[in-house]
Amino acid sequence: MRIGTISDNFYNISNNPEKLNSQLTKMSSLSDNNDKFSSLSTSSMLAKANVPLSHTLAADNYMVIKKIYGTPVVKSRISNKERALLGKYDFNQLEYTTIKQINEELELLKKWSMSLDQNLKEDADKIIEIRLKELKYLAACRYTLITNEIYNGYMALEKYFEDISKYSL
């Protein structure tokens, strides 16, 4: 009995050059036909790895308010002190960030929250609280502060919170 070669057993694949060069990555459910992989999917993947307790508590806080009221009703802006803390680590305000920037920031904040350096850990927890406050403000204003499609980092943060919260919609 002869087993054969790949081209013998998989005739359709070996004789079709399009199938040989096609992408094996499945498209995300959040992507459209032009995207091979959505940046929002990265937020979902970030939520699958070690999530600090401070992130989970912030996410639960946001999701409970969203579940009860539909959207946050408090329009509190961040203070100058909070803005300075973001600036210390070279982070933009949420309304001026992209999805990629937020994903990178979330990755850093997760590492920092599990750091042995107590100051870095406290700053990371404060920054996630600042991000929560900014997200609540943007949601209360119906996301209308910035209408540019580039600055939609709030979507990634909201997706991250939805994925890690036990109170997801």
Return the higher-pLDDT residue of 39 and 104: 104
The predicted model scores a pTM of 0.68
CB under 8 Å to 43, separation ≥6 — which residues? 99, 102, 103, 106, 156, 157, 159, 160, 163
DSSP state of 167: T
- Domain ranges in the chain are 40-164
Task: Kindly state the tokens that stand for 116.
Answer: 């042995």
CB 68 within 8 A of CB 54: no
pLDDT per residue over 58-109, tens digit each? Answer: 888 888 888 887 766 666 789 999 999 999 999 999 988 998 999 999 999 9
CA angle at 155 for the pair 152 and 34, rounded to the nearest 5°: 75
When pLDDT is averaged across residues 133-152 and rounded to a whole number, the result is 75
Q: How far apart are CA 126 and CA 133, in angstroms?
A: 11
Greater confidence (69 vs 143) lies with 69
Greater confidence (12 vs 119) lies with 119
